[in-house]
Structure 1
Amino acid sequence: MDVFASFRLDGRRACITGGSRGLGRAMAQALAEAGADLVLIGREAESLQTAQSELSALGRRVDTIVGDLGQVDEAQRVGELLARDFGPLDILVNNVGGRRLNIPTEEMSLADWNSLIQLNLTSVYQMCQHVGRMMIQRGQGGSIINVASIAGIIVSKGIFGRHYETAKAAVMSLTRSLAVDWARYHIRVNAIAPGLFLTDPNRKWFREKPELQETFTSGIPMGRAGEPKEIGPLALYLASDASNYMTGATLVLDGGYTLW
Structure 2
Amino acid sequence: MRKKETSHMGIFDRLSLEGKRLFITGGSRGLGKEIALAIADAGADVVLVARDRTSLEATAQEIRTLGRDARTYVADVGNPAACEAVCQQALEETGDFDILVNNVGGRRANVPVEDMPIAQWKELVDLNLTSTFVCSKVIGGAMIRRGQGGRVINLASINALVAGRGITGRHYETAKAGVLMLTRSLATDWAPHGITVNAICPGIFATDPNKAWAEKHPEIIEAYERNIPMGKLGEPEDLGPLAVYLASDAARYMTGSALVIDGGYTCW
Q: Normalized against structure 2, the TM-score is what?
A: 0.96
Q: Structure 2 unaligned segments of length 5 or more: list them.
A: 1-8
1:130-141 matches, cutoff 5 A: 130-141=138-149
- 2:86 counterpart SS class: helix
Larger deviation, residues 78-87 vs 105-114: 78-87
Question: Which residue number in structure 2 is paired with residue 16 of structure 1?
Answer: 24
Question: Which residue number in structure 1 is paired with residue 61 of structure 2?
Answer: 53
Question: Which residue number in structure 2 is paired with residue 218 of structure 1?
Answer: 226
Question: Which residue number in structure 1 is paired with residue 6 of structure 2?
Answer: none
> What is the CA RMSD across the aligned residues, in angstroms?
0.7
* Aligned length in residues: 260
| Pick aligned residue for 1:71 from 79, 82, 85 | 79
Q: Which runs of 4+ in 1 moved over 2 A?
A: none
Question: Which residue number in structure 2 is paired with residue 161 of structure 1?
Answer: 169
Deviation at 1:214, TM superposition (A): 0.9
Question: Which residue number in structure 2 is paired with residue 230 of structure 1?
Answer: 238
Provide Cα deviations, 1:101-147, integer angstroms capped at 9, x if missing partner.
Answer: 00011100001100000000000000000011110111100000000
Counterpart Cα distance in 2 of 1:9 and 1:24: 17
| Pick aligned residue for 1:89 from 83, 91, 97 | 97
- 1:41 counterpart SS class: strand
| Pick aligned residue for 1:123 from 115, 131, 140 | 131
Deviation at 1:86, TM superposition (A): 2.1
- 1:180 counterpart SS class: helix
Question: Which residue number in structure 1 is paired with residue 204 of structure 2?
Answer: 196
- 1:23 counterpart SS class: helix
Q: Structure 1 unaligned segments of length 5 or more: list them.
A: none
Counterpart Cα distance in 2 of 1:79 and 1:142: 16
The amino acid that maps onto 2:213 is W
| Pick aligned residue for 2:154 from 146, 152, 170 | 146
Question: Which residue number in structure 1 is paired with residue 257 of structure 2?
Answer: 249
- 1:69 counterpart SS class: coil
Provide Cα deviations, 1:44-71, integer angstroms capped at 9, x if missing partner.
Answer: 1111111111110110000111100111
The amino acid that maps onto 2:172 is Y
Larger deviation, residues 40-49 vs 75-84: 75-84
- Structure having the higher Rg: 2
